[in-house]
Structure 1
Amino acid sequence: MATIGREVRPVSYPRGEVRASDFRVVEVDLRPPRPGEVLVRNTWTSVDAALRLRLREEAPPGYFPAFPLEQPMDGIMTVGEVVESHADGFNPGDTVWHASGWRDYALVEAERPALGGVGTLTKLDVRGAPPQAYLGPLGANGLTAYAGLQVAGLREGDVVWVSAAAGAVGSLVVQLAKIGGAQVIGSAGSADKVRHLVADLGVDAAFNYKDGPLPDLLREVAPDGIDVYFDNVGGTHLEVALGALRRAGRVAICGMISEYAAPKPPPGPGNLMLAVTKGLTIRGYRASYHTHLLPEMSRRMGTWLREGRIRHRETVVDGLAQAPAALAALLRGDNTGKTLVRIEDLPHREGVAHRFDQRQS
């Protein structure tokens, strides 16, 4: 008997804000898995700001390709349970991650690389962590944060500024930098997020970038400048960081959310000559460039989670059909921590956002 699944498909590329009308949910008949494939019932799927880059006619050069209209959105991390397996090493009941998200069932080829290797079908150990943690601190977000501080050459005693510090990656970066012996400054877009950064995540100082001129806000908390800037935002934030960096400062560019939905690319920093005069290092990167660090990151992050040294908050939306609304909310800055969609059908709860603080005991 064929399995009937549902998929969220884009029907138009958003102009400005992501809207529900840019997508539709389609029912599809799934064939049985062929040799080397597994059928997975997805339970949690990821919502990431960078998906907006693929909701264009053309994605940025060198990035993952744009999502074709009227097609399933391949390349979104998700976790689920194996229902049927014709692949060695995978059995019904196994919890796995893969990159066929925003659907409730997926046929996955076991050995086919996905998302540069980060999203290749992988069996997960959920004895010490809930499955959805593998979409956050134990997965691609954790790898992005962990690798980024290596890219930045973090040293004990550094003064580090992290933008979008209450987001899925930024919230991990600030805590990893503290573990590494840095003085950490976080910026975010609301008073609640600033309180979360200080009270829950232990940053040394935090500010709401909407509260005044950004150079003044940063100068108040870092009067002597910074050594490292971890960039999730780009635009004005990057320009201000270049001005605040001390000699031989470093920038790790993880993302530029300020540009994702911009109708045209904003101008670059007007003070880039400071990279020459100060001897700065500016390096962009992606998690898929650093898959060799995944086992090390997972082991160390798992330990820190169990010890309570790493905390992570989840913004959870119920219902597969609500994935576009969850993405729109994330891009507006309405989320804190990792945004997730819980896929199981829960009619009485669908569309309701929940927030959870997760600490492994």
Structure 2
Amino acid sequence: MSDLINKKIILKSRPVGEPKESDFALVETPTPEPGEGEILSRTIYLSLDPYMRGRISEGESYAASVELGSVIVGGTVSQVIKSNHPQFQVGDFVLSNNGWQTYAVSKGETLRKLDPTQAPLSYSLGVLGMPGLTAYAALLDIGQPKEGETVVVSAASGAVGAVVGQIAKIKGAARVVGIVGSDDKRDYIVKELGFDVGINRKTQELNSALKEAAPNGIDVYYDNTAGVILEAVLQQINLGARIPLVGLISEYNATSTPSGPNLMPLLIKRALIKGFLVGDYQHRFNDFLGDVSGWLQSGKLKYKEDVVVGLENAPDAFIGLLRGDNFGKLIIKVNEDPTTA
């Protein structure tokens, strides 16, 4: 065994409704030595994402639940510190799925090397990683925005929504409307990201605000939330509207099945609504990486991170994420990033 101490955050109890800090526990264990064909890596950045709420629940989902007493799942950027693997050297930076812990042993099968000279390491957990691919593939492959159309995005200042709105403008949408949870976020998406209109769902009446923001109706609704926002949007969709259903943030902490919106407009307007899982779109990764990297370098696409320092602060930050407290892509800085020293 290594003399390194591995700090882990494990699932202590399954949350009922909104998670509590007591549902998580910080434990320390010795770090195992890598075996033949394995590497040991130190976590630098941990990604916190809404999908994790489903993984710590017991209900049926598209992926297995985290077992009680096990490390919470999560994407990470790590640095190799010991290697018995021919394809990875000590010092390499890798995109991994080490979860909420400071060290991890891996066989390297799912790792991807990162080049810190191409982009900040943390970007591979956001705009150049899973959230960015989610924005890119769901919008372009399901939403299929066309020049002159109106696109509406919920959770529009978040890691996914902020990218969606900017790509929609790049692709020629005439009007992009973002729905957010504060005036600061509304100002940000309009003044910094180029959205045409922002709506504060907490202070504005959704139906009237949407009618004013999208006077020609809604052609594409990129849905990160479902719930009352979807219900309001459905009343104003156009013929042939497309709705990528990507997230259900409004339902993640629900203790009973929420009542659904009136789906009659989907029938009348012959609209397409399709569920999206990013794992089904890995074949789009190279196209996504080329396009989004280019847009970042040219300044057409902007990106914001919300960085919290310390693994021990992950539970509180995650609880805040589900409330919408974060402003930008939420990242936990677990250890120092040597590329920024």
Verify: 1:170 aligned to 2:169, yes or no: no
- Kindly state the Cα deviation for residue 345 of structure 1 after the two structures are TM-superposed: 7.6
Gaps of 5+ in 2: none
Amino acid at match of 2:185: K
CA contact (8 A) 2:44 2:336 kept: no
Q: What is the match of residue 296 of structure 2?
A: 305
Matched ranges for 1:146-185 at <5 A: 146-149=136-139, 150-182=141-173, 183-185=175-177
CA distance in 2, matches of 1:109, 1:20: 32
Q: CA RMSD in A?
A: 1.4
CA distance in 1, matches of 2:252, 2:123: 26
Moved more, 189-198 or 147-156: 147-156
CA contact (8 A) 2:17 2:253 kept: yes
- Kindly state the Cα deviation for residue 193 of structure 1 after the two structures are TM-superposed: 0.3
In the alignment of these two chains, the number of paired residues is 334
Give the alignment partner of residue 215 of structure 2, picking from 220, 223, 228: 223
Give the alignment partner of residue 101 of structure 1, picking from 80, 99, 102: 99
CA contact (8 A) 1:319 1:345 kept: no
Q: What is the match of residue 189 of structure 1?
A: 181
CA distance in 1, matches of 2:210, 2:64: 36
Q: What is the match of residue 118 of structure 2?
A: 128
Instruction: Report Cα offsets for 1:35-55 as digits up to 9, x if no partner.
Output: 232111000000111111112
> The residue matched to 1:168 in structure 2 has which SS?
coil
Verify: 1:42 aligned to 2:43, yes or no: yes
Amino acid at match of 1:301: V
Q: What is the match of residue 66 of structure 2?
A: 67
> The residue matched to 2:235 in structure 1 has which SS?
helix
CA distance in 2, matches of 1:207, 1:91: 48
Q: What is the match of residue 22 of structure 2?
A: 21
Moved more, 177-186 or 48-57: 48-57
Give the alignment partner of residue 316 of structure 1, picking from 301, 304, 307: 307
- Kindly state the Cα deviation for residue 317 of structure 1 after the two structures are TM-superposed: 0.7
Change (3 A) 1:273 1:6: same
Q: What is the match of residue 239 of structure 1?
A: 231
Amino acid at match of 2:37: G
Instruction: Report Cα offsets for 1:274-299 as digits up to 9, x if no partner.
Output: 21211100101111110011111112
CA distance in 2, matches of 1:89, 1:294: 22
CA distance in 2, matches of 1:145, 1:157: 20
> The residue matched to 1:9 in structure 2 has which SS?
strand
CA distance in 2, matches of 1:18, 1:345: 28
CA contact (8 A) 2:177 2:198 kept: yes
CA contact (8 A) 2:74 2:97 kept: yes
CA contact (8 A) 2:237 2:265 kept: no
Change (3 A) 1:67 1:250: same
> The residue matched to 1:261 in structure 2 has which SS?
coil
Give the alignment partner of residue 139 of structure 1, picking from 112, 121, 129: 129
CA distance in 1, matches of 2:258, 2:147: 35
Q: What is the match of residue 356 of structure 1?
A: none
- Kindly state the Cα deviation for residue 102 of structure 1 after the two structures are TM-superposed: 0.9
CA contact (8 A) 2:243 2:272 kept: yes
CA distance in 2, matches of 1:329, 1:273: 35
CA distance in 2, matches of 1:87, 1:240: 53
- Kindly state the Cα deviation for residue 17 of structure 1 after the two structures are TM-superposed: 2.3
CA distance in 1, matches of 2:328, 2:32: 36
- Kindly state the Cα deviation for residue 309 of structure 1 after the two structures are TM-superposed: 1.3
CA contact (8 A) 1:12 1:69 kept: yes
Q: What is the match of residue 351 of structure 1?
A: none
Amino acid at match of 2:170: I
Gaps of 5+ in 1: 112-119, 347-361
Q: What is the match of residue 350 of structure 1?
A: none
CA distance in 1, matches of 2:229, 2:37: 46
Verify: 1:201 aligned to 2:193, yes or no: yes
- Kindly state the Cα deviation for residue 315 of structure 1 after the two structures are TM-superposed: 0.8
CA contact (8 A) 1:13 1:22 kept: yes
- Kindly state the Cα deviation for residue 219 of structure 1 after the two structures are TM-superposed: 0.5
Amino acid at match of 2:214: A
Q: TM-score, normalised by structure 2?
A: 0.95
Verify: 1:342 aligned to 2:333, yes or no: yes
Percent identity over the alignment is 40
CA contact (8 A) 1:209 1:217 kept: no
Instruction: Report Cα offsets for 1:217-236 as digits up to 9, x if no partner.
Output: 10111122110000001011
Amino acid at match of 1:70: G
CA distance in 1, matches of 2:82, 2:111: 14
CA distance in 1, matches of 2:21, 2:138: 33
Change (3 A) 1:221 1:251: same
Q: What is the match of residue 12 of structure 2?
A: 11
- Kindly state the Cα deviation for residue 68 of structure 1 after the two structures are TM-superposed: 0.9
- Kindly state the Cα deviation for residue 157 of structure 1 after the two structures are TM-superposed: 1.6
Q: TM-score, normalised by structure 1?
A: 0.90
CA contact (8 A) 1:9 1:72 kept: yes
- Kindly state the Cα deviation for residue 18 of structure 1 after the two structures are TM-superposed: 2.0
Amino acid at match of 1:80: S
> The residue matched to 2:99 in structure 1 has which SS?
coil
